[in-house]
Structure 1
Amino acid sequence: MNYKEAYENGINKLSRVGIPDAGLDARLLLEYVCNTSHSTLYAHPDKELTEKEEKDYEALIARREGREPVAYILGNQDFMGLNFRVNENVLIPEQDTENLVEEALRFCEDGMRVLDLCTGSGCIALSILNFSNDTKAVCTDISDKALAIATENSERLGLKERAEFIHTDLFPPKDGSRYDLVVSNPPYIASDVIETLAPEVKDFEPRLALDGDDDGLSFYRRIVNEVPEYLYSNGYLIMEIGYDQGQAVKELLEQDERYHDIEVIKDYSGNDRVVRACFY
């Protein structure tokens, strides 16, 4: 089987089971197996696959037919122009979350300290560190397996010395440490909504990182209530939210007199995506 035939066969199999972007997924998996680039399909469509490549490609296509996300199959995902290691223990970094990083970088100055709650793959904190100078981050997660991935990512990106990872339920121990920025992409999907999500999400991404309890706001309440013990005066809290949670999270902050300069920021699709507040 040649390269073009393998690619078309992959598209057909993925299309039959209703995979969105079947062409893109088939190409990415083929490039992974054959260690090729995007140009190979156009420059060398008659390139013959080895027996092993053909077998490996069929195996990966079968995994994708089962709705396993491509990022988990490949073991990595690009985010903010960086490449992050991912597996089933962490959420796949999404473009929507780049809005949170971009907003944080607007308020991040050299030498600042950042606290990243529910760090997962570490993509938020490590991206902030990568695009700033002399900053340091403390990153927390309740999952040891997620922290192992985040630590690996810090090493791969050359940021190990600037990032600390702590296993804890949301906040690090209260030792008087203060931060200039607190960022978080917490679990925010209501429990009964999770089963309505695409199979790639509900069947493969870690439920621990998705489930925001009955109304999806449980973690926001905890963060809004407790984060003042960790922020410097005039420090900022910046959180990702669901597209329909902007008003609810804004009201949580407005009801607490310790916050001001509260704003809901939209993503590039026009949906509410980030909430920012300054601590007095």
Structure 2
Amino acid sequence: MSEKIEVLTSLKSWKEYGEITLRMAGIPDYKVDAWLLMEYVCNINKSYYYLHMDRPMDKSDAIEYQKLIDRRSRHVPLQYLTREAWFYDQPFLVNEAVLIPRQDTETLVEESLKYLKPHNSVLDLCTGSGCVILTLIRHASVIGTGSDVSEEALTVAMENANRQKVNNCAFILSDLFDKINGTYDMITANPPYIPTKDIKGLMREVSEHEPILALDGHEDGLYFYRKIADEARGYLKSGGRLVMEIGYDQPDLVKDILFQNGYRDIKIIRDLAGLPRVMSARWS
């Protein structure tokens, strides 16, 4: 590493090094990622870069940049390196304990907001980073509870609540409904829904680095939908809604599970790509 630092000096040469290294590692957006890591490490914007691209990079920054480029070349997700992911126009802290919030999941938020009123109570299962429940609180002024089976994930969610100054959200360490009490106007969930056999076939950023606990939906990917649909009936108020993210190839199967458990007004909502992404149903 010290030899590389002696050879490369300017911001421009380090950026080119990052691009070449990531391109050779098969990173599709290698130019974007090389820049974003430089922006993160050096705390600069593009205007500054173009005015000062020939100036030397600080040695401590160069050491850190090379470390992050090396990790990204091993397909560690960019968001885990910068410890930040944007969701619904808000930055969220993320690390290897939680799934990286994705734009697809914003469809779940938008569907949920259609039915919520101020002071409604919402339980968010498998809350992870807390991106769903904290967004619903900010936009609908609801009373929120986030639960997760992972203590490390809840630590991330609570830190996000602190950063966003969200005070009216409780967080509970619970395996789905095991430690949950009371009833709610809405239950949301983005549960694990990838069949076990399919996880190895996902992109390396997901299969090798995101938490398996948040991905593995057991043999057919439907284990958690069956369990949630069954148990949520005891925690939803009459007329309350269950809103869940689903796999694009699962809508008919999940719809059947919900119908068999007594839910009605079942809706399939598509994401911006036109794929089935969210299932919404009313408990009567």
Pick from 29, 43, 51: which aligns with 1:35? 43
After superposition, where does 1:188-203 map in structure 2 within 5 Å? 188-203=193-208
- Change beyond 3 A, Cα 1:38–1:275: farther
Q: SS of 1:131's equivalent? A: helix
Q: SS of 1:223's equivalent? A: helix
Structure 2 residue 183 is the aligned partner of structure 1 residue 178: yes
Q: SS of 1:262's equivalent? A: strand
Pick from 228, 237, 262: which aligns with 1:223? 228
Structure 2 residue 159 is the aligned partner of structure 1 residue 152: yes
RMSD: 1.2
Q: SS of 1:18's equivalent? A: coil
Preserved CA contact (<8 Å) 1:140 1:172 = no
Cα displacement (A) at 1:38 = 3.6
What CA distance in whole angstroms lies between the structure 2 residues aligned with 1:141 and 1:81? 24
Cα displacement (A) at 1:60 = 0.6
Q: Select between 83-92 and 32-41 the one with higher mean Cα deviation.
A: 32-41
Preserved CA contact (<8 Å) 1:166 1:172 = no
Pick from 15, 19, 27: which aligns with 1:19? 27
Preserved CA contact (<8 Å) 1:116 1:182 = yes
Pick from 255, 258, 265: which aligns with 2:260? 255
Pick from 142, 146, 171: which aligns with 1:165? 171
Cα displacement (A) at 1:124 = 0.6
Question: Please, which runs of 5 or more residues in structure 1 have no aligned partner?
Answer: none
- Change beyond 3 A, Cα 1:40–1:243: farther
| Count of residues in correspondence between the two structures | 276
Pick from 245, 259, 277: which aligns with 2:281? 277
After superposition, where does 1:203-242 map in structure 2 within 5 Å? 203-242=208-247
Percent of matched pairs sharing the same residue: 44
CA deviation vs aligned residue, 1:67-96 (integer Å, no higher than 9, x gap): 111111111111111111111111111111
Equivalence for 1:121: 129
Instruction: Detail structure 1 runs of 4+ shifted over 4 Å in the superposition.
Output: none
What letter is aligned with 1:169? D
TM-score calculated relative to the size of structure 2: 0.94
What CA distance in whole angstroms lies between the structure 1 residues aligned with 2:204 and 2:243? 29
Structure 2 residue 59 is the aligned partner of structure 1 residue 55: no
CA deviation vs aligned residue, 1:181-239 (integer Å, no higher than 9, x gap): 11000000000100111111111111101000000000000011111111111111100
Preserved CA contact (<8 Å) 1:138 1:165 = yes
Preserved CA contact (<8 Å) 2:174 2:180 = no
What CA distance in whole angstroms lies between the structure 2 residues aligned with 1:194 and 1:48? 43
Question: Please, which runs of 5 or more residues in structure 2 have no aligned partner?
Answer: 1-8
TM-score calculated relative to the size of structure 1: 0.95
Structure 2 residue 80 is the aligned partner of structure 1 residue 72: yes
Q: Select between 2-11 and 223-232 the one with higher mean Cα deviation.
A: 2-11
Q: SS of 2:205's equivalent? A: helix
Preserved CA contact (<8 Å) 2:125 2:190 = yes
What CA distance in whole angstroms lies between the structure 1 residues aligned with 2:115 and 2:177? 22
